[in-house]
Amino acid sequence: MKHLAGLLALVAWGSAQADDVQVAVAANFAAPMQKIAAAFEKDTGHKAVLAFGATGKFYAQVVNGAPFEVLLAADDKTPAKLEAEHRTVPGTRFTYATGKLVLWSAQAGYVDGQGHILATRDFAHLAIANPKTAPYGAAAVETLTRLHLVGRLRDKLVQGENIAQTYQFVSTGNAPLGFVALSQVVRDGKFTSGSGWIVPDTLHGPIRQDVVILAKGGANPAARALADYLKSDKARDIIRSYGYAL
């Protein structure tokens, strides 16, 4: 009986230590983060409550008092800016993934392996994420600029609020092609559907994606546990499987 009582006390103690953590996640990282969150809860007992959206909008929400405790951004500039403004826990920022941009179509064989279709203008619309709030959108504009195609394609552009909406435009056929995150269309090195051109890193700046514990998460052990978990082999394997570099 004493052993049973001790076991029940241990279970109760473990439950008491489990906490929720409010996490703002860049839209491009939605699929891998859902898998990581499930593994995190199973392995630690802590629950990550996820919200997905554009990094720029998350910045505005944090500044205006949103209850987020951890930010997984689509860039490294936004977490650094929040850090400089003393809105984070010092020393907690690091790069959890480096993103890849891809020109993608839901139609097989539509996008060639070199992206030459862009110069043909033989399409109705080209979807990109809002470059003012979404780093993948900014990378898309930078790519078009370096290819000297911004002026020629300006009338073709349609903007998604974030990379998730941009992907929706293309996946539903409302836009025949668009710049999306590689993580949205690749699993274990292969396109899940459609056709695409992985944009060379030389055509845009590196999409370093940083995570940081926000000031509101400073007293929450689950926030620190999640940041640590992102460095684990299990989390890193999931991240790699979605086409990110580490």
Residue 246 in domain: no
The rounded distance, in Å, linking the Cα atoms of 246 and 237 is 10
The DSSP secondary-structure symbol of 113 reads: T
Residues 171 and 218 in one domain: no
The pLDDT value recorded for residue 133 is: 87
The pLDDT value recorded for residue 18 is: 82
Residues 70 and 150 in one domain: no
| CATH number reported for the structural domain that contains residue 10 in this entry | 3.40.190.10
pLDDT per position in the chain (246 positions), as tens? 444 444 333 334 344 468 999 999 999 999 999 999 999 999 999 999 999 999 999 999 999 999 999 999 999 999 999 999 999 999 999 999 999 999 999 999 999 999 999 999 999 999 999 999 889 999 999 999 999 999 999 999 999 999 999 999 999 999 999 999 999 999 988 999 999 999 999 999 999 999 999 999 999 999 999 999 999 999 999 999 999 998
Residues 64 and 85 in one domain: yes
Question: How many folded domains does the chain comprise?
Answer: 2
Tell the residue number behind the tokens 């979605």, with chain if given. 242
Residue 90 phi/psi, 5° resolution?
A: -55, 140
Residues 237 and 171 in one domain: no
The DSSP secondary-structure symbol of 219 reads: T
Structural domain harbouring 53: 2-98+206-241
Residue 171 in domain: yes
The rounded distance, in Å, linking the Cα atoms of 68 and 66 is 6
The pLDDT value recorded for residue 94 is: 98
Residue 172 phi/psi, 5° resolution?
A: -90, -5
Residues 179 and 229 in one domain: no
The pLDDT value recorded for residue 6 is: 44
The rounded distance, in Å, linking the Cα atoms of 168 and 92 is 33
Residues 194 and 226 in one domain: no
The pLDDT value recorded for residue 17 is: 67
Instruction: Of 89, 115, 108, 49, give the one whose Cα is nearest residue 214.
Output: 89
Task: Please answer whether residues 118 and 147 qualify as being in contact, where contact means their C-beta atoms are separated by less than 8 angstroms.
Answer: yes
Residue 42 in domain: yes
The DSSP secondary-structure symbol of 27 reads: G
E strands along the chain, which residues?
A: 20-26, 47-53, 70-72, 94-99, 101-105, 126-129, 157-160, 177-181, 186-187, 190-191, 195-198, 207-213
Residues 41 and 106 in one domain: no
Residues 105 and 187 in one domain: yes
The DSSP secondary-structure symbol of 75 reads: S
Residue 82 in domain: yes
Residue 154 in domain: yes
| Residue type, position 29, single letter | F
Residues 16 and 58 in one domain: yes
Residues 214 and 231 in one domain: yes
The pLDDT value recorded for residue 189 is: 86
Residues 36 and 157 in one domain: no
Residues 192 and 221 in one domain: no
